Amino acid sequence: MDGFDLSRRLAAEALGTGILVATVVGSGIMAETLTKDVALALLCNTLPTGAILVVLITVLGPISGAHFNPAVTLVFSGKRELPPSEAAFYIVAQIAGGIAGTVAAHLMFGLPVLELSTKVRTGGPQWFAEAVAAFGLVATILAGIRFQRTAVPWLVGLYITAAYWFTASTSFANPAVAIARSLTNTFSGIRPADLPGFVIAELCGAFAGMLLMNWLLGRSRASASVAITETIR
């Protein structure tokens, strides 16, 4: 992110989140239009989402870090890699961009600009699934940055592709995306009343992932001593 001022980073976060949401919502609408098979529709929703994440993280990551997700932004703020004041601006940009993405998808398919969803997504299993999805996403990002930074776009895209299918909630894993999806009464929607449970679960899962990975990726005192000794030699 070196060399890019805050305004450019915020624009990248808004743009990336917007395109991500437009892909999620738009592919869901297309899937509903082309098939009545729910499993096939979910697959049609999954593949574009995973693919666009690879593209967006690759091209916008060098500008803003490609969070596109308030939970991820809060994790990096908690790790003191992003000042709280900047994190707040990131989150606002992500939410605004996500809503713009829903608007764009609706306009492309001739739907009302915004429409509150009536799709019920609530209950303990769904909330737990969202916590698991966010936990895995954060673990994937942090471990990827540590061991294979250049592979992070693919790691995240593949993780979300898989999580669509192994979580009961189809892996929103992103408060900004959840908010944007509450404004579309299509395949990918979620009732506004169900948002709090999803957002809380996502944040809890993300912070649990951060805590575990901080420990798991931390070097023991013995390992650190060996490293120091080898450096001296």
Q: What is the pLDDT of residue 220?
A: 56
- Kindly tell me if the per-residue pLDDT of 119 is higher than 80: yes
Q: How many CB atoms lie within 10 A of CB 135?
A: 23
- What is d(CA 77, CA 1) in angstroms, rounded to the nearest whole number? 15
Mention every residue, 6+ apart, whose C-beta is less than 8 A from residue 42.
31, 164, 165, 170
User: From its phi and psi, is residue 3 left (phi > 0), alpha (psi between -120 and 50) or beta?
Assistant: left
219 or 95, which is more confident: 95
pLDDT in tens, 57-66: 999 999 999 9
- What is d(CA 220, CA 23) in angstroms, rounded to the nearest whole number? 42
Secondary structure of the chain in HEC code, one letter for each residue: CCCCCHHHHHHHHHHHHHHHHHHHHHHHHHHHHHCCCHHHHHHHHHHHHHHHHHHHHHHHHHHHCCCCCHHHHHHHHHCCCCCHHHHHHHHHHHHHHHHHHHHHHHHHCCCCCCCCCCCCCCCHHHHHHHHHHHHHHHHHHHHHHHHCHHHHHHHHHHHHHHHHHHCCCCCCCCHHHHHHHCCCCCCCCCCHHHHHHHHHHHHHHHHHHHHHHHHHCCCCHHHHHHHHHHHHC
Q: What is the pLDDT of residue 41?
A: 97
Contact 187, 32 (CB under 8 A): yes
Contact 145, 57 (CB under 8 A): no
- Kindly tell me if the per-residue pLDDT of 1 is higher than 70: no
User: From its phi and psi, is residue 170 left (phi > 0), alpha (psi between -120 and 50) or beta?
Assistant: left
- Kindly tell me if the per-residue pLDDT of 28 is higher than 70: yes
- Kindly tell me if the per-residue pLDDT of 149 is higher than 50: yes
Q: What is the pLDDT of residue 221?
A: 57
Q: What is the pLDDT of residue 134?
A: 98
Q: What is the pLDDT of residue 231?
A: 43
- Kindly tell me if the per-residue pLDDT of 31 is higher than 80: yes
The owner of tokens 């061991």 is 147
pTM for this entry = 0.92
Q: Which of 97, 76, 95 is nearest to 87 (CA)?
A: 76
